[in-house]
Structure 1
């Protein structure tokens, strides 16, 4: 495995590849930056930019968990934001080409069109703390961190929930693959996968490694950040760990994404972006 590392001040958290660049949110400084050295100041130091995605409109979009906004930066550097209450955190592009986000403090899912129209849909469970979200099979899938379940919502707002087999698992990350949806169980040291029929499988990762974010790959496998262990690991389509790379005890790996060249990019909150070439 070949590793490249790019130092970036400001606590990299989310990461995405878009327009030939790798973008990262700097959660503690209210900035967005790229691996090539571009820096975008949101003029909101407490905005806590978190999860970032490549939008359907030649722009990156990201949640601003600290000031109830969804931010947007176009490929040509125009910046804007849309207000949405509820501490937005997870974010994905939905099957309808709108942006869908989790609203952690209001137990709801938000929808934002590229024109800035906002709708919210309750998930129907109080205190569920919806975390990350992904699109799969025409629906939205999200982790319910405090309800110990996976949620599923149609684009019309109808909700189904799937309780996890393991108690108090603390699901966080989620990512759609070709054969189901991968998710992490931060408190149970497991990675799970759920099918459209609701079948859940769970796979062990190292004890106390606190799996946080997950990125599915086209071969049915996934990569996962092991926040507690300061590492990243690959699970094959059968849930076996086939690769593992340590970054160091205090590196704090969070978001990750699969690049167009099959490399894996990892945001290390300690101050860098890591690029792995398996």
Structure 2
């Protein structure tokens, strides 16, 4: 999910479309490519919405009036973020590369140096790019010049997926281990087991207070952790909700995209 001013944006993977929610009204934007599978979306400083199109090996952007696509040379993009250089950075899961789109639309790709690691989601923190290596059981770190450092996870076969840079570290989730992790600028990793180890944490967004919100795909809920990894609150979203992406608004409320075809808005407890 992505926020742009008062607008809430999400991708409709199976429909080949984007959706915009404003003041309770929904508008769908058909991409004209039903098999494009738009996946991860983010807002960039120039007001555009960028999103990965894992079905046709492309990235797309839309500014509310017009849009375009950018072809990815190596394979299927998935994760996406705005980098420390304000460029758009993305992961290519099936090619083990991290890509960058410059202001001129040119694509540059950087191999991560590991085969079969399956780079999934990506974030920015401390001037570098950080990404989960889902099959590599590690967290990757890349400079804007393409120099990669890899940090193995303490738990075997943890299945790292979501990742988000916070004020003093990077939060990530381990979908197969039922844990939330945090890595600091020195590469020190801390893992926090969730109360329900079968909850299947999927996406994470860091918060300004040093904590984070996490979607629990397996238990149909979201959970908020404080800066020390303690559980502050858990919010159930209903049967078959299957929460995936989420975004935290400036007022601290949380928007969550649900697999059942709806969006939830969560007001945190004090």
Band the TM-score falls in, shorter-chain normalisation: over 0.9
Contact 1:35 1:273 survives alignment (8 Å): no
SS of the aligned residue for 2:218 comes to helix
Residue 148 (structure 2) pairs with residue 159 (structure 1): yes
Structure 2 Cα separation of the partners of residues 151 and 77 of structure 1:
36
Contact 1:46 1:66 in 2 (8 A): yes
Report what 2:211 is aligned to: 221
Q: Post-superposition shift, 1:155?
A: 0.3
Q: How many residues align?
A: 263
Counterpart in the other structure of 2:257: 267
Moved over 2 A (4+): none
Which whole-Å CA distance do the structure 1 matches of 2:57 and 2:3 have between them? 24
Out of 241, 245, 256, which is 2:235 matched to?
245
Which position in structure 1 is the counterpart of 2:136? Answer: 147
Q: 2:17 aligns with which of 31, 42, 54?
A: 31
Structure 2 residue aligned with 1:181: 170
Q: Measure how far apart 1:19 and its partner are.
A: 3.2
Which residue of structure 1 aligns with residue 71 of structure 2?
A: 83
Higher relative contact order (CA closer than 8 Å, sequence separation 6+): 1
Q: Whole-Å Cα distance in 2 between the matches of residues 113 and 53 of structure 1?
A: 16
For residues 76-96 of structure 1, what are the alpha-carbon distances to aligned partners after superposition, in whole Å with 9 as ceiling and x for unaligned? 321111110321000000011
Tell me the alpha carbon deviations over residues 38-74 of structure 1, each in whole angstroms, 9 at most, x when there is no partner: 2111011111111110112211101111111111011
The match for 2:81 is 92
TM-score (norm 2): 0.96
**Partner Cα separation in structure 1 for residue 78 and residue 38 of structure 2:** 9
Residue in 1 aligned with 2:224? 234
Q: In structure 1, what is the Cα distance between the partners aligned to 2:15 and 2:176? A: 28
Structure 2 Cα separation of the partners of residues 201 and 77 of structure 1: 44
The offset of 1:104, in angstroms, is: 0.3
Aligned to 1:54: 43
1:192 corresponding residue in structure 2? 181
SS at 2:139's partner residue?
strand
User: 1:18 matched to which residue of 2?
Assistant: 4
Distance 2:31 2:149 in 1: 36
Q: Is 2:52 the counterpart of 1:63? A: yes
Deviation at 1:115, TM superposition (A): 2.4
What TM-score do the two structures reach when normalised by structure 1?
0.93
Gaps of 5+ in 2: none
Q: Deviations over 1:75-120 (max 9, x none)?
A: x321111110321000000011110000001000010123211000
CA distance in 2, matches of 1:108, 1:181: 20
> How far did residue 179 of structure 1 move?
1.3
Question: Cα RMSD (Å) of the superposition?
Answer: 0.8
**2:15 aligns to what SS in structure 1?**
coil
CA distance in 2: counterparts of 1:132 and 1:77, whole angstroms = 28
Q: Give, in whole Å, the separation in 2 of the partners of 1:188 and 1:32.
A: 32
